Structure 1
Amino acid sequence: MNQSQETKSAGDDKSKRNDCNIRKTVRNQKRDTKLADKLEVAGSGPKRSKGLLGRKNLGPGEGLWIIPCEAVHTFFMQFPIDLVYLDRKYRVKKICAIVPAWRFSACLSAHSVLELPAGTIQDSQTQVGDILEIVDSELVAEPCSL
């Protein structure tokens, strides 16, 4: 087995893991602020398509990391959210604060997007160009809420 096959196999094993049971913590390295500590990962087709639809709100520290993703909509959403678009190195490419329902947002240079409670961008002082750190924070036993 060559190196590219080994890498592909390792990635396949990770993709089979139930990533919705792993919560992430997101910190802004430059500003030493926390954006989320209960971030759920949406890496599969169904989870990415559903996003936050059906949720009534996002609590403090909660959020959704959609990966890969260059664009999102807030059609049928029941609450406003903050959007933070990231490149593959977690550099902030674009921010959209307090995005209400019935909006579309895109950043073609992004690889993923964080959907966070409205006000998170302001509270964390996050700006375009900042580099975020995303690490595992906890493993939960209950099924995903998404």
Structure 2
Amino acid sequence: MKRLIDATTNEVLLNRVEVADTFWQRFKGLQFRSPLPTDTGLLITPCSSLHTCFMRFLIDVVMLDQELCVVGIRKQVRPWNAIFCVPQTTSVIEITSASKSWTLGQKLKIVSDIEERPFKK
């Protein structure tokens, strides 16, 4: 399991991050799904645009650059829309609308459970 944290404060922003990094995973995205829990997001990479066809709920879209820095935010995107991301965008995080607040310039980090566990001798 992967988590999303604020790279500056180490605050956990999302306890679960699903990764869509193949053509079909990216194409499907959140289509036909129920709203995500408030602590869950979908990371789509690479991504420079997206659609919300066949979605059943509003989403917030957090646009990230290559260093996982927030470069754009679109709130309350309705189903049946197309979004063109800001030019620096290389990936996006889709979350259920209004589940989190984000800040432009915020530096993020994705970690796995393995990275978070302390090393035991």
TM-score bracket for the superposition, by shorter chain length: 0.7 to 0.9
Q: What is the deviation of 1:29?
A: 3.2
Match of 1:137 in 2: 113
CA distance in structure 2 between the partners assigned to 1:41 and 1:130 by the alignment: 20
Identity in percent: 34
Counterpart residue type for residue 96 of structure 1: R
Could you tell me which residue of structure 1 aligns to residue 5 of structure 2?
A: 27
Q: Structure 2 stretches of 5 or more lacking a match?
A: 115-121
Q: How many residues are treated as equivalent by the alignment?
A: 113
Of 95, 98, 104 in structure 2, the residue corresponding to residue 128 of structure 1 is: 104
Change (3 A) 1:53 1:120: same
Superimposed CA distance per residue, residues 57-114 of structure 1 (whole angstroms, 9 cap, x where no aligned partner): 1112111100100111112210011110101100101011121112211223201000
Conserved in 2, the CA contact under 8 Å of 1:97 and 1:121?
no
Distance of aligned partners of 1:32 and 1:72 in 2 relative to their CA distance in 1, 3 Å threshold: same
Q: What is the root-mean-square deviation in Å for CA atoms of aligned residues?
A: 1.7
TM-score, normalised to structure 2, is: 0.84
Of 33, 40, 43, 1:62 maps to: 40
- Greater alpha carbon shift after TM alignment, 104-113 vs 82-91: 104-113
Structure with higher Rg: it is 1
1:42 to 14, 20, 24: 20
Residue 48 of structure 1 aligns to a residue whose secondary structure is helix
> Given the two structures, how large is their TM-score scaled by the length of structure 1?
0.71
- In the TM superposition, residue 30 of structure 1 has moved relative to its aligned partner by 4.2
SS at match of 2:24: helix
Q: Deviations over 1:7-49 (max 9, x none)?
A: xxxxxxxxxxxxxxxx211122346543311111001111111
Hey, what's the Cα distance between the residues in 2 that align with 1:83 and 1:28? 17
Measured in 1, the distance between the counterparts of 2:113 and 2:30 equals 20
Task: Verify: 1:92 aligned to 2:70, yes or no.
Answer: yes
Using the alignment, how far apart are the partners of 2:99 and 2:113 within structure 1? Answer: 18
Distance 1:59 1:99, change over 3 A: same
Of residues 23-32 and 111-120 in structure 1, the stretch that sits farther from structure 2 once superposed is: 23-32
